[in-house]
Structure 1
Amino acid sequence: MKNFLAAIALMTGIVSASQSKAEGEITALDTRQQSIITIAAFTASGDIDRLTPALNAGLDAGLTVNEVKEILVQMYAYAGFPRSLSAMFALMNTLEERKATGINDEIGKDAGPIPDNFDRDAYGARVRANLSGLDDIPPPAAWQEFSPIIDTFLKEHLFADIFVRDVLDHQQRELATIAALANMTGTAGQLRYHLGAAMNTGLSKAQMSDFVLVLGAQVGSQQAEDTASLLAEVLKARGQ
């Protein structure tokens, strides 16, 4: 495992051989961030047996109940309602079991109110442009012209209705997104985009390297290898 983790770090082009991290050494992502990764990844794959300990670890790390619920709600936009709902039932069971042992988890804040004049199309378009690293909203791409309705759903629902909820910030949401996409198949194009988007929310190269290491240590070696390869492409394109 030690050699594997060092190899993954090298694949990203972030650290030199002399700086390779020791096995399990995650220094740039805190325990809350690491838990967002595993919770989102196992929700997306529908692996409830692995999700349950990840939920416990996340709550132990200080994620509030509402923050965990928000991760699971967001996941339906990527993995569908069935897996999101199954994960929500797993969280309910986990909370009941923890309460039975005397653990009273912090509920945390609710989402703030949405303005009455909230323009979902404009907000969603702006969020997507920001995630893309653009100052201006670009003209429609070919796929948007081919299916305007899916573009509308993306803007008005995912990037507006969901992203406007302030229980999680946009950086946390992108961390959850790349974790989900990394543990799904057939999503390389979306994962490549969101790796860049995650960095556009402020995640550093070191944090992205740690993201890959968490995948390798907690999710799966193949997922980590595939993500490391895409991340290397993203970093090269960004001149990093």
Structure 2
Amino acid sequence: MDDLFDNFGRIQKNDPEFHEIFKNFAFDEVYDHSTLTEKESVLVTLASLIACQSPKAFKKILLAAVNKYITPEEVKELLYQSVPYVGFGRAHNFFGVTIKVFDKKGIEMPLENRSKTTPENRRQKGRELQDRYFGAEMIQMMNDNAPEGQEHFNRFLEGFCFGDFYTRDGLNDQQRELITFVFIATLGGCENQLRGHTQGNLNVGNDKEKLVSAITVILPYIGFPRSLNALAIINEF
């Protein structure tokens, strides 16, 4: 998959030494220690680039990957999934970048609507997914223990995060939880949430090997400190 780095021609021309070092590590050595599929590798890479605010690298990799390793619909769902985790303030630029890439690739927009909920059932459907991912007892305990005046945050999780986004078509449960894990690991400083979504990944069928592979693939973009912090949490399970 070293073709993903082919669009970084300016670096190759002006700093061929770094280009060679990074390409050999990020697109050869790293992939030798990952069991992710090509699609999963692209998904976690793009997810990490969103969370670490690297629109130029995101654009270059997306140009090489869309319609080859990942579909336009999957890119759309990746963007949507990013919003409740990195915030629209961070995600906003990547919507614009994606529009430009799709236009260059001749991909007609808007893409098909993938929403599966209504304003009336979004919270119910979101709660059903929360229960399935994390266990009904744990979610109920979280709701019961919400401090007075802060209950609305749990309702936001039900309706917005899970109801509006996780219920959508385009990515399956395993893919959504994997990229969510990557968003949180890349952000750093969110260890409690990373623990919760490590368990969520295991509950939906992503094993520890897959999570370790995801951290392996994104290490070149997030660096060793955050990678090692994420590995420490994975190793608690």
Match of 1:194 in 2: 197
**2:71 equivalent to 1:69:** no
Task: Give the counterpart of 2:121 among 119, 123, 126.
Answer: 119
Question: 2:174 matched to which residue of 1?
Answer: 171
In the alignment, residue 85 of structure 1 is paired with which amino acid? H
Partner of 1:52: 59
In 2, the alpha carbon distance for the partners of 1:191 and 1:151 equals: 17
Count of residues paired in the alignment? 210
Match of 1:223 among 213, 220, 226: 226
Partner Cα distance (2:175, 2:234) in 1:
18
Report the Cα distance in structure 2 between the residues aligned to 1:153 and 1:29, rounded to whole angstroms.
32
| 2:183 aligned residue | 180
Contact 1:216 1:224 in 2 (8 A): yes
Deviation at 1:149, TM superposition (A): 0.5
Match of 1:130 in 2: 132
Structure with greater proportional helix content: 2
Question: Quick check: 2:117–2:164 contact (8 Å CA) kept in 1?
Answer: no
How far is 1:62 from its partner?
Answer: 2.7
- Paired letter, 2:71: T
Q: Distance in 2 between matches of 1:62 and 1:226?
A: 29
Instruction: Identify unmatched segments of 5+ residues in structure 1.
Output: 6-21, 236-240
> Equivalent residue of 1:28, what SS?
coil
Unpaired runs of at least 5, structure 2: 1-20
Structure 2 SS opposite 1:63: coil
Question: Structure 1 residues 95 and 137 mapped into 2: Cα distance closer, same or farther (>3 Å)?
Answer: closer
Aligned partner of 1:143 among 139, 142, 146? 146
Structure 1 residue 197 displacement after superposition: 0.6
Offset, 1:224: 1.5
Determine if contact 1:66/1:110 at 8 Å carries over to the other structure.
no
Q: How big is the shift at 1:59?
A: 1.5
Query: C-alpha displacement at 1:127, in angstroms?
Result: 1.1
Partner AA of 1:167 in structure 2:
G
Identity of aligned residues (%): 22
